Amino acid sequence: MLRHLLAPFALCLAGFAYAGEVVVAVAANFAAPMKRIVAEFERETGHQATLAFGSTGKFYAQIKNGAPFQVFLAADDITPARLEAEGDAVAGTRFTYAIGRLVLWSARPGFIDDRGEVLRTGGFRRLALANPRLAPYGAAAIETLTALNLTETLRPKFVTADNIAQAHQFVASGNAELGFVALAQVGQDGRITAGSGWIVPPHLHAPIRQDAVLLPGGRDNPAAVALLAYLRGDKAKAVIRSFGYDL
C-alpha cells in the first residue's frame, strides 16, 4: 500500500527534477500581468523565471549586444520580427500574446473626461509619454496626437520617459498632470480603476500587437520553451484579458 501511496509523489518529484530557469525580457507595460502569470507558471511547473522589465527598444539593443535573455516579450510585433530576420531569435517561435490598449490618464479623479477633451482645453503643464523611438506605447501616443492635430501644439508640454513604466510613474507622482500609459497599469477588466482617464479609441493609432519570441539562448532550455507554451494557454490568457488586453 505504501508503494501505491508514494507513486504519485515520486512522479511529482521526477517532474520537478527537470525544472530549470529562464531569463525573460518583458516590456514594461506587461509587468503586472507577467508577474501573476509567472507565479502560477512556477507553481505548476517547478521552473523558475527571472524577469527584467524595460523598453522594447533598449531590449533590442541589449539582445543584439549579447544580453543573456532567453525569452523576449516585446510591446510591439516589429522588434521580434526584426530579431528573427536578423538571426537573433529562433525562427517560427514568434506569436502575439496580447494586444495593448492606450490610455490618457491622470492620478486625479475627474481630471480627464471620457473623450479626452482635456487635451484641447488645456489646464495642464506637463504631458508624460514614453519615448516614441524606444517604446511602442510612446509611438502610439504620438500617432494619437497626430490624428487629433495636437502634436505640435502640445509638444512643449511633453515629458518624455524611457519606457511606459516611467511615464506612469511621472503621472502617479504628480510630476505630470496627465500622460499616456497602458490600460493594464491603471485598470482591471477593461475599466480604469484609479484616477481618471480616457481609453484611446483603437482607430487613432496602429494596433499595439505585442509579440513574444524565443531567443537563441533559450533554444535548448526546457524552462524557456515551457514558458512560451504556458503563455498560449487558457490560464495565462485569462490573466491577460483581466488586465484589459485584447487577444
CA distance 130 to 141: 8
Structure confidence by residue, pLDDT tens digits, 91-107? 999 999 999 999 999 99
Beta strands 21-27; 48-54: pairing state:
parallel
Checking if the pLDDT of 2 tops 80, the result is no
Domains of the chain: 21-99+208-242 (3.40.190.10), 101-204 (3.40.190.10)
Structure confidence by residue, pLDDT tens digits, 190-200? 789 889 999 99
Q: What mean pLDDT comes out for the span 10-31?
A: 74
The percentage of the chain sitting over the pLDDT mark of 90, rounded to a whole number, equals 85
Q: What mean pLDDT comes out for the span 9-27?
A: 68
Closest CA to 137 of 188, 171, 103, 173: 103
Structure confidence by residue, pLDDT tens digits, 106-127? 999 999 998 999 999 988 999 9
Structure confidence by residue, pLDDT tens digits, 127-165? 999 999 989 999 999 999 999 999 999 999 999 999 999
- What b/e string do you get for 179-204 counting C-beta neighbours within 10 Å, with b at 16 or more? bbbbbbbbbeeeebeebbbbbbeeeb
Q: Where are the alpha helices (DSSP H) in 27-157?
A: 31-45, 56-64, 78-85, 118-121, 136-147, 151-154
Residue 18 confidence (pLDDT): 63
Grid coordinates in use for 168?
Answer: 506612469
Asked if 22 contacts 48 with a C-beta cutoff of 8 angstroms, the reply is: yes
Report pTM.
0.83
H/E element, 184: helix 183-186
Checking if the pLDDT of 21 tops 60, the result is yes
